[in-house]
Structure 1
Amino acid sequence: MFRKCGIRGTGVDTIAESAGTNKMTLYRHFQSKDALIVACLEDAARDAEELWRTVEASAPGEPRRQLDTWIRLVEAGLQHDRGCEFSNAAVELPEACSVVRDTIASFKRTQRERLAGICRQAGIREADRLADTLGLMVEGARVSRQASGDEGPSSRFADCARMAIDHFALQGSPGLAKAPAENQPAE
């Protein structure tokens, strides 16, 4: 419901009714709407963890191929109507309680570190800058898709991300090979 209607647009009464219960029972399980928001964000974090397991399993020991898998998975994820639950919560609830804000910040930090780690493994000297660049591209692509639809700038996310990776890989790292394009054999 939060994804479809937004957090502010979804009241506790509506949540309880949709769950086939009442507010009193809902509050026995979640002491506040903020606690319910955190539980939903934690559920989304588990989904993100599955994405990272898929990335790592896609090409063990081949971080450039893992980056390509990450791009494909992000691109597929851009098809969601409302974008990232964490980014949406941060924008929708700028005055949220510290538990909600800390949950959002911790998730975003973890995602950035996972991405930077793969970039480091790929031998990219400025791995943190590349992770920041890719992170900003993802956030921009999500917003662009909501504003401009499938045919807008978000449709170029994969090409832009690959160009950024290639650029950073070549900066001070002349020996790094480009990852083979999808469905192309390694050289």
Structure 2
Amino acid sequence: MNTMTKTLSAGSGSSAAAVPKVRVRDRILDTARGLFYRYGLRAVGVEAIATEAGTNKMSFYRCFPSKDELIAEYLREQGRGYWDWWDAAIAPHAGDARRQLEALFDNYMTLTCKDGSRGCSFGNAVVELPEGDHPGRRVIEQHKAEMRGRLRTLSSEAGATDPEALGDTLMLLMEGGYLTRLSFCSQGPISVAGKAVRTLLDAHIPAVASTARTVRAASSKRSKA
């Protein structure tokens, strides 16, 4: 019996009893989130998800027309959680885009290095979804485009001389960090991501822009006080 089978067998008898008031659809989605992230999209079948969620395949297909649609919804749910995390990470530094970028990567390192992290849900999923017309593939492409746009916008607001190049470089660093987390765990190259980000920001943002940013941030704090 493999590890996943053991996990499913251990949990299948208690899931429904533990959360009897949760809708079947929500139970299925929540179960799929854990299994997909841990084992991958292809390794987990409909029957395994239904069993772990305390239901059956008939109920599964009443909630989701297909496994592909469940995958797409799983990715949309992961995306909503990701943007909640992103917004919370930069919120304390409103008006200071450089500090927001630094805080974003500091929080990213903590998130990526925590126990149980399997890297980026979207990066892992895109490897398993080569079909361009798969509904999950479209969710991934939209998510990554949004990430790229946000990093470019923050780079521009921070005063970068070439915000598109800086934003894309930061995205490459973030994406690569997720992958090395799978290979090296918490003691790998990801541990220098924060230092690398600050080096990039120093190289792309003129000193005059950094000074002006500091003045604006201080002024904003005084006005709020």
Q: Pick the TM interval, shorter chain.
A: 0.7 to 0.9
1:82-114 CA distance string (max 9 Å, x none): 111111110122126432211100000001111
| Structure 1, 111-120 or 55-64: larger mean CA deviation | 55-64
Q: Structure 1 regions of 5+ residues with no counterpart?
A: 181-187
Q: CA deviation at 1:81?
A: 2.4
The answer to whether the Cα contact below 8 Å between 1:72 and 1:158 also exists between their aligned partners in 2 is yes
Task: Select which of 33, 42, 65 maps to 2:99.
Answer: 65
Bigger radius of gyration: 2
Counterpart secondary structure, 2:209: coil
1:167-186 alignment, distance < 5 Å: 167-169=203-205, 173-177=206-210
| Structure 1, 126-135 or 105-114: larger mean CA deviation | 126-135
Identical aligned pairs, as a percentage?
Answer: 35
The answer to whether the Cα contact below 8 Å between 2:90 and 2:101 also exists between their aligned partners in 1 is no
Residue in 1 that maps onto 2:149: 113
Q: CA deviation at 1:160?
A: 1.0
The answer to whether the Cα contact below 8 Å between 2:68 and 2:134 also exists between their aligned partners in 1 is no
Residue in 1 that maps onto 2:41: 7
Residue in 1 that maps onto 2:3: none
The answer to whether the Cα contact below 8 Å between 1:90 and 1:104 also exists between their aligned partners in 2 is yes
The 2-side partners of 1:52 and 1:88 are apart by 19
Q: CA deviation at 1:165?
A: 1.6
Structure 2 counterpart of 1:2, one-letter code: F
Superposition CA RMSD, Å? 1.9
1:97-156 CA distance string (max 9 Å, x none): 432211100000001111111111111121111111111111111111211222221211
Structure 1 counterpart of 2:168, one-letter code: D
Provide TM-score, normalisation by structure 2.
Answer: 0.74
Structure 2 counterpart of 1:120, one-letter code: S
Task: Select which of 126, 139, 159 maps to 2:175.
Answer: 139
| Structure 1, 43-52 or 72-81: larger mean CA deviation | 72-81
Structure 2 counterpart of 1:147, one-letter code: S
Q: Is 1:122 aligned to 2:155, yes or no?
A: no
Residue in 2 that maps onto 1:28: 62
Point out the structure with the larger helix share. 2
Aligned residues: 178
Task: Select which of 106, 109, 112 maps to 1:75.
Answer: 109
Structure 2 counterpart of 1:78, one-letter code: T
Q: Structure 2 regions of 5+ residues with no counterpart?
A: 1-34, 215-225
Runs of 4+ deviating beyond 4 Å = none
